[in-house]
Amino acid sequence: MLQAMGLNYPAIIVRDMEDSIRFYERLGLKPLYVEPNRDDPESITAMLYCGGNDTFVQLVGPLKPGTVSIADASPGIGSMQYLSFTVSLEQMQQMWHEMSSAGVQGSEEIKRGFERLVFLEDPNGVLITLTAWGVEPPRGMPRALVLQRAAMLRDQGESSFIEDEHIEQAIKDVDAAFREN
């Protein structure tokens, strides 16, 4: 079976490129380049680096704020519900402080199963989540393996959702499996 190598980037339509780039820079993304949009000569694209395993966010917007119809697009079914960034709990607190200080509205930290979430809204109304795990796997341990094992543990028990205790045990199990090999 073929498998994608990873998520390259979501493309987000923005109203004002400068405001949007500043917002994502506050989240730690690094602008790599801005260039004309090959699909719409009246708009531009910006590629932002998220870090990690070469993940990116692309912004698509007008040359001049509010002048291109692409920025007024109103996607329906199949549109993005939210964009989630993986962060550590410490990073989440630092980012939340930075965003609050900049006047960005958002939620307090929400505990949802094994995840901790903070919801923010970018200047274009895109819902952003900063997502941390309550229990972090060791550096280099594949999160996919941890989640797969945690789901098996959940299914063996009474819980409907993956919780911190499933992640804790899954980390131990995955670590033991790596040591055996």
Count structural domains, the chain. 2
Is 5 within the bounds of a domain?
Answer: no
State whether 124 and 152 are in the same domain.
no
State whether 98 and 39 are in the same domain.
yes
- pLDDT by 10s per residue, the chain, length 181: 666 666 778 888 888 999 999 999 999 999 999 988 877 778 889 999 988 777 889 998 888 876 656 655 666 655 677 888 888 888 888 888 888 888 888 888 899 899 999 999 888 888 888 899 999 999 889 888 999 999 999 999 988 889 999 999 999 999 998 888 7
pTM of the complete model beyond 0.85:
no
What does the alpha-carbon distance between residue 23 and residue 25 come to, in Å, rounded to a whole number? 5
Q: Domain range for residue 26? A: 11-133
Neighbouring residues of 105: CB distance < 8 A, sequence distance ≥ 6 = 120, 121
